[in-house]
Amino acid sequence: MRVVLLGPPGAGKGTHAARVAGEMSVPMVASGDLFREHQKNDTSLGRLARSYMERGVLVPDQITIDMVMDWIVKNENKGGFLLDGFPRTLTQASALEESLGAGSGIDRVLYIDVPIKVLIRRLSGRQVCGSCQSIYHLEFSPVKSIGECDNCGGGVYQREDDKKESVLRRLEVYRTETEPVIEYYRNLKILVDVDGDNDVKDVEMTLMEAIKS
């Protein structure tokens, strides 16, 4: 089973990815986490990606495709995978489909949608753990002890690109670059619409049903 989580920044992809992949017993990856990992390790790819991510624009397609395909090759023969944050452009979507080979492409795309006003509130209050990537929110799901990850005790921080100016740019980039990907998968008849403007538990239930159906 090969699944893609699609949706605007702040829709809840990262919040749900691990549990959905766990339910499917497949490995998962978030392209944004791969880039941030490269930055932490100060690789040349990390330094290159940083200049784009800081501005809230997409990293060029070929760089992103190579990085994610490398992960997919390393995770072959594990019964499938779940991708969070990739593909984000039509070029990425067709590169993915091509490299997976005819008849063995993506099985399902879970498209989580949330109104833009809600996205802005979610992104501007998001906090993430620098060690284990757990996701929190200042208002909606705060850490128990200020600044400290409930899961691993690591430090939580606000992402540079979750500051106001970047947030608006990212939502605009989503509209122009990523929205066409929704129609691409809808035409392939593998898209499932999920209303993300609900409690985390409710959204999770809908996602679980969508992968079983």
Q: Which is nearer to ligand ADP, 77 or 170 (CB)?
A: 170
Among candidate residues 13, 36, 108, 122, the one labeled active-site is: 13
CA 190 to each of CA 33, 107, 200, 213: distance values in angstroms, whole numbers, following the listed order: 25, 6, 23, 12
CB atoms within 10 A of CB 24: 20
Is 2 in the active site?
Answer: no
Using alpha carbons only, give the angle 122, 128, 133 rounded to the nearest 5 degrees: 125
50 is catalytic: no
| 89 burial via Cβ count (<10 Å: 0-12, 13-18, 19+) | buried
Q: Which does 141 bind (CB under 5 to 8 A by kind): ligand ADP, Zn ion, none?
A: ligand ADP
Element spanning 61, H or E: helix 61-74
Instruction: Find, among 66, 171, 177, 174, the residue nearest to 124 by Cα.
Output: 171
**Partner from ligand ADP, Zn ion, none contacting 134, C-beta within 5 to 8 A by type:** Zn ion
> Would you call 169 a catalytic residue per the annotation?
no
- Beta strands at 81-84 and 108-113: parallel, antiparallel or unpaired: unpaired
Give the span between the Cα atoms of 16 and 21, in whole angstroms: 9
The upper half-sphere exposure of residue 87, i.e. CA atoms within 13 Å in the direction of its Cβ, equals 29
Tell me, yes or no, if 159 is annotated catalytic.
yes
Name the catalytic one among 2, 108, 122, 170.
Answer: 170
Q: What is the residue whose two structure tokens read 């670059």? A: 177
Binding mask 99-138 for ligand ADP (x = CB under 6 A): -----------------------x--xx--------xxx-
Q: In angstroms, rounded to a whole number, what is the distance separating the alpha carbons of residues 182 and 37?
A: 27
Choosing from 129, 167, 192, 194, the residue that interacts with Zn ion (CB under 5 A) is: 129
Binding pattern to ligand ADP, positions 165-194, x when CB under 6 A?
A: -----x------------------------
Query: Does residue number 143 form part of the binding site for ligand ADP (CB under 6 A)?
Result: no
**Stretch of residues binding Zn ion (CB under 5 A), selected from 17-25, 32-40, 58-66, 150-158:** 150-158
Active site members: 13, 88, 126, 159, 170
Residues making contact with Zn ion (CB under 5 A): 129, 131-132, 134, 149, 151-152, 154
Residues making contact with ligand ADP (CB under 6 A): 7, 9-15, 30-32, 35, 52-53, 56, 58-59, 64, 85-86, 88, 92, 122, 125-126, 135-137, 140-141, 161, 170, 199-200, 203
